[in-house]
Structures are given as C-alpha cells and as structure tokens.
Structure 1
C-alpha cells in the first residue's frame, strides 16, 4: 500500500470560514458515523440523510429559476452571485427585455390553470378529428393494411413526426459516426409507451396499463365532462367535427392498442433511454448501418420512407432533399416491422396514431386529463400520482422550451460570469492533465495504442459553465437569433406546445446535409448533469452541476475533487469506455486499438460486469432486482476511471497546497473527506417502482452500486480508511481498467515534483 505519509497528509489547520462550518454541519447531518465505512461506504456517507430525506430532490436551483420567472425584468440582474462581466446588458437591454418577456409569457400561460381547466381537453379535438377524418379515415374494422394504404400511413407518420411525436419508428438527425463533421439521418426502433420492453411481459403491468389508458381516453376523448366544461366540450367537438368516443369504443381501442404495441415491443431490442444506446447492440460499430435510402425503401415497402423524409426536411429554397444514404441503427426491427404492419387492421393503426398523439399532449390539457395520466404512471413506474406544485412544473417546462433564455439569467444568479467560467475551466484542466499523465503508466496498453490514447486525450475539447457561441448566452442578440420563430400563444398553453414542438422538429430537420455545429450544447446551463460526446470528442460541464455539493469555490479542495472532480474524470473516461473507445480523437468511428490490447480491454470488462451484477435494489413487493452489469458497463467504467483520475489530481495539488480539515470532522483526513464527498453527492432515495424502471432503462447503476462499487476497486480508499483485506469495501479481487497500481502512483506523482 502507499505509505500513510503520502495518502493521509495530516495537518493542524482547521477551516473556520462560515462556508466550511456550514459544510461540515451538512456532512455531519448526512453521514452515519455508527456505520463501518469498510462494511458499507454508501450507508456510511448517506445513512443519516436517507433516514430524514423525503423523495423530493433539492429544489434550490428550481427556486432560483422561479424567482427569475415570477419577478420583473429588473430583478433578473439583482443579487447576482458575482458581476455580469462579459455579459451584454445595458447596450442590448431592449433585445434582452424582449427575450425575457417571451420567456415569461410562456411561464405565465403554463401557470394559468384556470383557463386550461375551463376549456377541458377541447384544444386537442381539432387535431384528433384531422387524424381520424382527414389524414387517416377508416370505414370498417376488418380491412388489413396493404401497400394500397402506404400513402395514408406515410402521411400520418410524417405529420406526427413533424409535431415531435414518434410512433412506429424513431427518426432523428445527428452526427454521422464515420463522418462526424456532417449531420446524417438516423433510423431507430419504436419509442414504446411503457418504459421498456420488459414491462410488456408482465400481465399485471399490462392490466394497469389497460385501466390507465381507458381512464385517460375517457377524460380526453370520451363523454366525460364536469358541469363547468360540459357546454364547451359539446360546442368545440361540434366545431371541430370530432365525435366523442363512447366507453365501448374506448375499451376496444385500448385492447387493440396494447396488443399492437406489445407486438412492436416484441420485435424491439432492449434499449436504454439516453442517446439510444442499445443493450443488445452496445457496440456502436454494430449499430452503424449506412444504407442507401432507395435500398431501404425496397426492403421496407410498407411505408413510403422517402416521402416521409421529403415531408420532414424543410426545403425552403436550399435545395436540400432526402439524402442518398441513411444510417439504420436497428435493421432487424425494420425487417420485422413490415410483417407486423401487414397483419394489422387499418383501424388498429388509426387508433394507435390517435392514442400516441393523445398521450404525447395530455400534459398540456386540463386537470382531469393530467390526473388520469399521473395516476397511470404512478401505478406502473413512478410510484406516486401526487402532482407537484404548478409553478414547479412550469419552471421545468420553461427551462426546456426556453433553455438559453432562462439559462442566461440562471447562470448569473447561481454560477457567475467569465471569471467563474475561467476558474472552473482551470479546475477541469487539472483532472484532464491527471488523465493524460497516467497513460504512460498503464501497463496493459501497448505502445501503438498508448500513442493513440494520448493523442485522443490531448484532443478532448472542454465546454464549461454556459454556451458562448451557438448561441452566446452573454449576448441577447445571439439568443434572439437562435430562438427566431419560437412563439407563444398568450391564450392557449396547448397551442403553444404544439407550435413549440413543430419549431423544435423543424430546427432539427433543417440540419440535414449541413455541417455539425460543434459549438451547440446538448444541455442547458441550468441542467444538473454533464456529458461526453464521442463524435465531437468533447466534455460539457454545465453551470447547473457546478454547485454544492459537487463544487463550491469556498470549499476545501478535497471536497471539490471528490465531487465535481470525479464527475469531470467520469466524462473524460467516457472517451475510453466500452463504446467511447471505438472513436478516435477526431470523433471518427474507427478501430485504433491493436488486437492484443483490445482483447485485454474486453477481458477486463468482464470483471466489472460480474462485480456490478452482484448489486441489487429492492423493487415492488420487496423483490430484489439485480443490476444489469452489461447495460451499466460504460457508466461503471467511467465512475471508476473518473474517481481515480480526480484522486490523483488532488494528490498532485496536495503536495503543494495542504488543505485544512473541517471543524467537527477532525477525525477525518482530507483524503477521507475526498471520498466522503464523492459518496454523498450520490445520496438518493427513490420509490420501488422507480428503482425497477431504472434497472431496465438506465445505463447508470443505482447509487449504492455507484458508490460502493467504485470504492471496492480503489486501493487508495482501502488505505485511507484502513479497511482490512477481504472486508466488503476492500475485496481481495479488484476490477481495474484505468487505475494505477501503488508503484505507478509514486511514479505518477514524481511527474509533478
């Protein structure tokens, strides 16, 4: 083991600032000192927090955004965290006010539940009537789908896609893995109504789904009404040419819908929610299937795919049409989809399209409709049907629809401006350097692969805090230009959401055939998250996660390195996880590993798959559900690699800048507090149904596994807490990919001395 003098550098300094005192008190409220950290480190760091916490997350960021949205424009620039240095304010005040007003108008119509409830679900009537009577009219319930119906199906699918509603398949525009500077059209499998295909194999869940859909459709399309909205339901249905569905029609339609969707689920691959990573095809090479559009059309004749794309791609005089080649991520799905369609009736498809549209829009309708939807989701996956306060819901919607507008003001209130962004970038660079400088000491890499790995790390780009180009959040004109055409209907929240969906869809399809805008962010600055993009070989650390407990400029550095340092290291490690390693430094999907080194990598992953598969969570009915070690492999590799990189970066800093201990926590060394803050940033409490859903759909391991799995593999943790060999947190067999042995740590640290 590394000597105690190296890893636990004691000093007599105690941090007595108010920030340190309050932070120490916060840590003491979270940790459970009665738990042995060598037995269960997650319980040690989070035990007291778990006992006292409610399911609701910390709301500080949401509260800040609420104050911005509910106050006058002038208040957006009061009580800033620091200055607005580098931000255009007075010179572009008029444009800034216009941006603010549009954003606030959106928030206010979302809040206006009195009007939303007074009109019931009637705003959706016209759209449903168009689906039933114009786009997809059906005269009987016996006619099977044939090639004669291809125009009918294709036009409807295109219209729904243009409104941001995916149905039979998921079509989107993104980077071409082998030409990462250009946008391509990608075809992926269906987006299912239930969280994952496993749910369709559970008869109890399907029954809850049936009951829930019946209730939703009765409230939205049925004869349900209240004394207040009955007159407007009658008048608006007549005006729209919409015939309300009776109970028998609803029940029959729901039965057909679930049967049809179950067939789609049966031909779909197991999928993850984020970025369409597929457990059955986690290798990006296998999911990269460039295909001539004409060939794809011939092989999949049930839908006029060429016509769908030509409808979606806005020509606008640019001369952009359907490309010659598309990328099909799940060819097996599309092959089987043809069979599913030809065995379905036209009425089944019509009802499928209508129900998909209703479910996608129900959140913007009246309280009765929203309540039915919440109840169904609570029964199946969320575990609760309690509605959050309306202001909180509307803050979330505004943060999505007007991400950059709200992000500008949030950043100044909660993060700072250019000085803080520069400071955070400097911090990030220390983790980056640690990742880079340990590569020469990774013994299983051969020289050829090592050289390419070093090249890739050197090319990783950083984006920190907030967007400064596309758009430039410091410049109101840039935000206005980015949002051009995004409008608000000051009367109808539903209509605003429809036009917003069309706007976002149109913005995406305009990218076809265009170069990738590598300056555009995929997350808003207020998002409490971070990401790595393999096609751009970049990491993005938004202002939203550069907050306590992850990061605070007043923290002792060991807390920052244990918190945001680990997150940064995690994102850097994604460049070398089971998927990211398949891309080179320029973002190309290319095999730059030698066969021998690649084989060693694959062999090492088996240890992580087996290790994490031993963790479990408690699902419904107290059933233990094991983590899917294969599904979570990439994130587990990133967690392990990220913490070790951050720890090494901290050790480098500690050599020249010893940190003080915290008052009341003097028994814990700076190294111990590094690990404590790592553990506490992942403290979570969730309902059993959510835990089950996450096991099936989330590529991240549950919090217990994220914390304990990493420390089990860390010799530095074992030394810091003096864990006996063979204890639960210090197993004899450790999984390692990008960590360093003790001898290598000593060599690594000499790089800086």
Structure 2
C-alpha cells in the first residue's frame, strides 16, 4: 500500500533489541573488538565440551527436519499455484521497469465510508413472497428473448394442466383460491357474532342451501334427468300450443314466441338475444333495448366448416335427443310419477316416432331418427352461423350501433309476436326505438325461419336447452356426459351458473379485503391516471386539442374498487332485498340455478326506460377480473383480483405497480383504444378526435394489428393459425398501458422509498425495475391445450398470454433498459419496428 514505504538500510542497529544493566557496566572494560574471521578461528580452536556437542547435534537434527517441512510445503504450494493457473484464463505478461524513490511521508487520512448496504426484509412474509417469485422463474431462459418463458417457466412446470381443463393459469388458480374462501364460510357454521343480524342469517341460509344442493352428487344422480325432461316438456308444450301438431300459421307464431320467451327468461340464448343498456348515440344513461344475434352451439362460426368438429357436435346432439326420448319413456310408464300436468301430453317418444299400435318391425330405428334430426338441427344452426356477424366486426361501435324504430324489428322478424314476447318479462313500457347490432341478421333470420320445418325449430330449441342445462344434472346422467364430450373436444370451460354472487361477495370481502387494501388499490389506479395525463402532451401523433379532451375524459372516469354499494356489500339488508325473489331449496340444484338466472333476467328488464344506476356493478366482488364500461365511463376492479399474485396492501410498490398496475392501466387504456376512444367523457358515441389525431391513431393501430397478426399458434394438425390482429387490437392496445403503470411507479418512487414501501426482498438478485416487469409477466402464466388455444384465437378478443407478455414488452424500451438487452435482441428491436402508442 502507499503508506507502507521501505525503511532506510543501516550498517548496524542503534541499540540492541534487548539490553540489561550488567552489560552496560562491562562496556567500559572491553578490549578492542576482533574481526569476524579472528573470532571464528578462535572458536574453532577451542575444545568442544559435552554440552556443546549435544547442542550441535540438536541443531543438526532441527535443520534436517526444517528442510523436510520446507520441501513438502514448497511442493504443495507449487501444485496449488498450478491448479489456480489452470482454472484461470491466460493473462498477458507485462514487464514494467521503474525506478523507486523512497521518501518519508505521513499516512493519508482515512477515506469517507461508503453508504450502508441496503438490507432486505427478512420477515417470514418477505421470505415467502420472495420464494414464490423465484419459483415462478426459469433461469435457463433469456428474458431478452423469451420473457414469458423466463417469468413463468417455473410456475408452469409446477402446475401441470388438470385433466378436466383446457386451460389453467394464474387467473384460474386465484379464482380457485377465492372459491375456497367462499367454500369455507359455506361449510363452516357461524361461530362469531360478526353477522348476527336476521338478514345475514337468512342470506347465509340461502347461500348454504344453494351450495348443499350443488354438492349433493348422490342426490343429483338419483334425480337423474327428471328436471331437464320437465323443462324440455315445457318448451314443447309452449311451442305446440293446445295440440300436438302445428297446423296453422297463427298457432305457429304464438307457439314459437311463447317457447322462445320462456327460454330467454331463463338465460338460454336461442335465435336472437336482447340486452338493456344505455343509448350511447343519444343518452348513455337512458337504458334502452339492444337486439343482437344469439350465441351458437359451437364457439364461433369457423367451427361449422370443420368436419371433425361437426361430427362430434352431431354425435352429441344425437345423444341428447335419444336420451331425452328414453328418459321420457321411463317417466310415462304406469306406476311412475309424471312431470307433466297432463299425462296425455306430450306423447312419448320424442322426436315423434310412429304410433305405439304399429308392429315392431314397422317402427323406424330410434337412433336413425335421432341421427336424421340431429343433422337437420346442425344444418339449421349452420345457416344461423353464416348469417351472423364476424367477431372482429364488433370492435367498431359505430358499425354495431343502428338505432331504428321497434316496428322495423317487428315487421322484419314477423315470426315473433313481440307484444306477447315483451309481456313475458312483465314490462309494459314497450320501447319506441331499439338498437340493432347487425340489421342484416334480422332479414336472414326471418328467411331461415320461413324455410325451416317447425319440428326442426322445435328440436333446435330443445337442444339449446339441453346443452345449457345438462351441466346442472348429476354426472352419471347421459345428458351430462354428452354435453361434457363436446366441452372436452372444444376444451372450453363452462361458465358457472349464477350462485348469488353479490351475497357471497359480502362474506368474501369481509374475509380477504380488510385494512387499507381499498385505499392502496385506489392509489395505484389514480397514480396511473395521473401518469397517463402527464404523457399526453408528449405523444407525437396526438395534437393539443385531442390531448386536452383525452385528459378531460381521464378525469371523468369513475373508479370503482373492491365491492359495490348497489347492492351494498356492507349492508346485509340491501343484499337480502336484491335476492329476495330467488327461491332456493337444498335439494333441487337444477331449480335453484333456474331461479337465480330468472331473477337476473327479471332485474335486467326492469331497467328498460330507466336512468342508469351509477352504483351498479356487472361483476361480483369475488371475481378475478376487471372491466371498462364505455357508456358509463367507468373502470371496475373487484376485490377478487386485488389478491396475490396481483396485489397485496403490504407488498413493495414495485410489485404492486407491476402486477395490479398492469390490470389498472389496461382498463384505463381501454377508454382510449380502437373502440373505447370513440366514446366521449359522458359515454356518448361520437368522434371527438381531430382529423390529424384520428389519422395518427390509425397508423398506430395498424402497427399493432400487423405486429400481433404475425404471431402464430399450433393448430394441432401440423400447421399454424395466425392471431387475428384486427379482433385483438383493442385488447392489445389496452395491454400497451403497462408503460403508464411503469411511469406511475417511477413518479411516486422517492416518496414511496422514504415511507419504506420500496423495500428489497431476500434472495432476489434483481433490480427493482426488473422486478416490476417480472411481477407483470408472472400474472399471465398458464398452461393450455392446443385445441383450447385454437378456440381462443378464433373467438377471444384477447391474444394468447405469451403474446400479451412478449408482445407488450416488445414495444416498451424501458424493459430492454432494465434487463440490459443487447441491440437486436428479440425484445429490444430497433425503434422503427416498435409500436409506441404513448410516447
């Protein structure tokens, strides 16, 4: 070191190391000193004493032993240096010639100490959180090339796809966890006085009876298909009117109207559908009637062109028709209870077979008849599919907003007696106008009905009911198994039937969403709104007029977090009144579902002609989801998604802003995506952008569409299917809002750090910036079967999860900076290849 300079050389020491008083006394009498040679010669001439001989021998032995040890040490040292040399790359030898000048200097003062090393949190909660993040990662993947795999490879490996599911990911995992919370209070008797009011007691009883009726699998199997047979017989009775055969047109119109209204009142889509929502072209808060096409038996119209899928679908329809006939025959035998009001109606079997009086040899084969009817039903449904609007066309709200007089609908679709239809829903306020999503479908539907035999239409309605309701039967029934076959082929996941979600949400929120969760979740959202507004002046394609209008819309957005107040989650009486009309028995799950769905439909129709209730929600508090509602200009985040791995009120901010921040930014950005941007701050459908900003947006949207259309998934047959960039453009633009979450986190960082909200986690050798993006990426981890992926690409406006991750960070330069991605890396493309929406 610099302060350790060599000492000056001297011929002799100024003083001995050790010195005694006797030596000082003798100094004055000493003779002149002898030379070294003289002293050595004198010593050699002296005879050795026995003691001297002994000492000399010991000295020789010590010298020999020392030599041996030195040799051994030198050998081991040489081996060690050679091993180190082999482990290190060769280093060039540099010869330096210098002249040393030694001076006496004082040691320099000590340098200032470095800032103390920031210590990570070591609490049990922090260790568990850190472990969950580490276990999600796949360190063998390069984050600059495959970030989705890097962020989720570990989680995917630890969560193989369940055999009964086509897809399973972080969303589904959290949904299961939330359901277990609900299951716990449904199965555990109340032991506290937290909910001791009579309203809570009644609510919990209704919930628990509903749950018990679902979980009683033995009871469901014992009941069998009886509830479905009863429902189907009701459809047939309504469709056929007073007689078994439809002979005149008036009776046909009355029967079809009655049967269709009955199905719609139970939430079963057939032929067409109605919804009640705001009139976005006139007054977004005035609830009006919207007419649209119905959902199909298959997920999308493309499936009706695939022979392999149609074969499975036809087989399922055929099985349903046969089992309904078989079960009905058993119900009609003497001594067995009948489920119809008049035992003489309906006749067995169905579809209608020859009279019982004919000989057995004269009767057509039952399977052949069901096979023939199934083919006719699918042909009828295929015609409906061909007449339907393509899914990506729904991304244009102007195209699907067609305000017409109600008489246009009633005249065009003359097969339906609409006054009677509306009367089914107890409404007396027949609307003057209706919004039609696709007017051409009205005309096509009318032509299809005019050219289809009545028995085929009747069979179609029966099949729609059987497909929708058979999941509510026991798993041993043929109807349940037939419908399950179709689900497994399509690998879709059926939606859960209504289970009094707002009532269950009361107890879910009480259990999982306490403390300051609502306040902290709201802060993340409002910070992102601020970041979005701050970015608008810097968006090159957005002029000042449009930027100012966008800022006003952002300010006007209503933010809803956690739970609704209509019905009020905190008020048992409010929820009790909301579900007062739902009749529940612990022994009849099938009927419980119908009662709950019918209640929902009734509430929907009551809104017709009313003003919008700004406090209502479209999701239950326990749901793992969020949404933006354009006519209401609101973004909504249920408590169900404000749970790990999306959010926790005591997480460091870089994790919350990365995970839940993406959810919040996504919904906010929907207000300015390809469809949402066409609604103004009041939710009215109008073009409030300037021409130049419209043109700039279109360029960016086309960039996004081109980017995502280049992505492909396996079709399971050796080929590839491209993502529909047009269908998914709105959601992909929504995902681009991640940059606003990043900016929001950075903007609050200093204050958050001082407050101790940016603490480090143990064992994570990543920067906070990297952990922000890791937190974002890992929420999209999922396993999915090939067929389910194909279905998603065809029908879902959301891109596959891998592209929601890699496609998003592809367009965010801050990601590449955080991970030091080299230029040209897959996720660090040149700026001209990126679709930079908000910068």
Q: Which residue is equivalent to 2:760?
A: 661
Distance across 1 between alignment mates of 2:251 and 2:633: 46
**Where do residues 348-747 of structure 1 align in structure 2 (5 Å cutoff)?**
348-367=456-475, 368=477, 369-382=479-492, 397=497, 400-416=498-514, 419-467=516-564, 469-641=565-737, 643-658=738-753, 659-666=758-765, 668-732=766-830, 733-740=832-839
SS of aligned partner of 1:576: coil
Tell whether the 8 Å contact from 1:577 to 1:637 is kept in structure 2 after alignment: yes
Distance 1:76 1:564, change over 3 A: farther
Name the SS for the 1:207 alignment partner: helix
- Residue 44 in structure 1 maps to residue 159 in structure 2: no
Deviation of 1:536 (Å): 0.9
In structure 2, the residue corresponding to 1:186 is in which secondary structure?
A: strand
CA RMSD in angstroms, aligned pairs only:
2.5
Q: 2:373 aligns with which of 217, 237, 253?
A: 253
C-alpha change, 1:651 and 1:122, in structure 2 (3 Å) is same
Superposition deviation, residue 249 in structure 1: 3.5
1:585 to partner: Cα distance: 0.6
Name the stretch that deviates more: 648-657 or 675-684: 648-657
Which residue does the alignment assign to 2:252? 149
Q: Distance in 2 between matches of 1:40 and 1:50?
A: 14
Structure 1 residue 363: Cα displacement: 1.6
Q: Is the 8 A contact 2:524 2:657 kept in 1?
A: no
**Would you say the 8 A contact 1:138–1:350 is kept in 2?**
no
Kept in 2: contact 1:401–1:500 (CA 8 A): yes
CA contact (8 A) 1:485 1:503 kept: yes
Instruction: Tell me the secondary structure at the aligned position of residue 661 of structure 1.
Output: coil
Pick one of 343, 347, 364 that aligns with 2:455. 347
Q: Decide whether the 8 Å contact of 1:19 with 1:555 is kept in 2.
A: no
CA–CA distance in 1 between the matches of 2:783 and 2:629?
Answer: 29
**SS in structure 1 of the partner of residue 278 of structure 2:** strand
Match of 2:48 in 1: none
Conserved 8 A contact 2:582-2:596: yes
Counterpart for residue 99 of structure 2: none
Tell whether 2:286 aligns with 1:182.
yes
Shift of 1:172: 1.4
Q: Deviations over 1:448-505 (max 9, x none)?
A: 11111111011011100111x2111101011112112112033322222222222221
1:119-151 Cα offsets, whole Å, 9 max, x none, are 2111232332232234326989998x9677322
Equivalence map 1:159-198=2 (5 Å): 159-178=262-281, 179-198=283-302
Tell which deviates more after alignment, 111-120 or 166-175: 111-120
Residue 436 of structure 2 corresponds to 328
Please, which of 390, 414, 417 is the counterpart of residue 301 of structure 1? 414
Q: Deviation string for 1:55-87 (max 9, x for gaps)?
A: 25423222111111111133695xxxxxxxxxx
The alignment partner of 2:561 has SS state of strand
Tell me, yes or no, if structure 1 residue 311 matches structure 2 residue 424.
yes
Aligned pairs for 1:285-296 (under 5 A) are: 285-296=398-409
Partner of 1:4: none
- Secondary structure, counterpart of 1:524 in structure 2: coil
| Alignment equivalent of 1:17, drawn from 117, 123, 127 | 123
Alpha-carbon separation, structure 2, partners of 1:430 and 1:478: 32
- Write the distance in 1 (CA, Å) between the matches of 2:760 and 2:200: 45
**Superposed displacement of residue 683, structure 1:** 0.5
1:54 matched to which residue of 2?
Answer: 160
Give the SS at the match of 1:74: coil
Give the Å deviation of 1:234.
Answer: 5.1
Gaps in structure 2 of 5+ consecutive residues: 1-114, 162-167, 351-365
Q: What does the per-residue CA deviation read over 1:371-407, in whole Å, with 9 as the maximum and x for residues that have no partner?
A: 2211221123349xxx9xxxxx9xx54xx32111110
Cα separation, partners in 2 of 1:233 and 1:454, compared to 1, 3 Å: farther
In the aligned structure 1, how far is the partner of 2:814 from the partner of 2:767?
A: 13
Question: Does the CA contact (< 8 Å) of 1:182 and 1:514 recur in 2?
Answer: yes
The answer to whether the Cα contact below 8 Å between 1:237 and 1:244 also exists between their aligned partners in 2 is no
Aligned-partner Cα distance in 2 for 1:11–1:220 = 74
CA deviation profile, 1:3-34 (whole Å, cap 9, x unmatched): xxxxxx99734232222211211111111111
Assess if the C-alpha contact under 8 Å between 1:609 and 1:629 holds in 2.
yes
Q: Which has the higher contact order (CA 8 A, sep 6+)?
A: 1
Of 26, 50, 63, which residue of structure 1 is paired with 2:180?
A: 63
TM-score by structure 2 length?
0.78
Alpha-carbon distance between aligned partners in 1 of 2:679 and 2:116, rounded to the nearest angstrom: 43
CA deviation vs aligned residue, 1:90-112 (integer Å, no higher than 9, x gap): 5xx12111111111111111112
Q: What is the aligned counterpart of 2:338 among 229, 232, 236?
A: 236
Q: Which TM-score applies when normalising by structure 1?
A: 0.87
Query: 1:693-715 CA distances to partner (integer Å, 9 max, x unpaired)?
Result: 11111111111100000111011
Q: Does 1:219 align with 2:323?
A: yes
Deviation, 1:437, is: 1.7
Does the CA-based 8 Å contact 1:219-1:372 persist in structure 2?
no
The question of 1:112 aligning with 2:216 is answered yes
The match for 1:98 among 189, 202, 218 is 202
Change (3 A) 1:34 1:138: farther
Counterpart-to-counterpart distance in 2, 1:623 and 1:581: 36
Give the 3-state SS of the residue equivalent to 1:599 in structure 2. Answer: helix
| 8 A Cα contact 1:682 1:707, kept in partner | yes
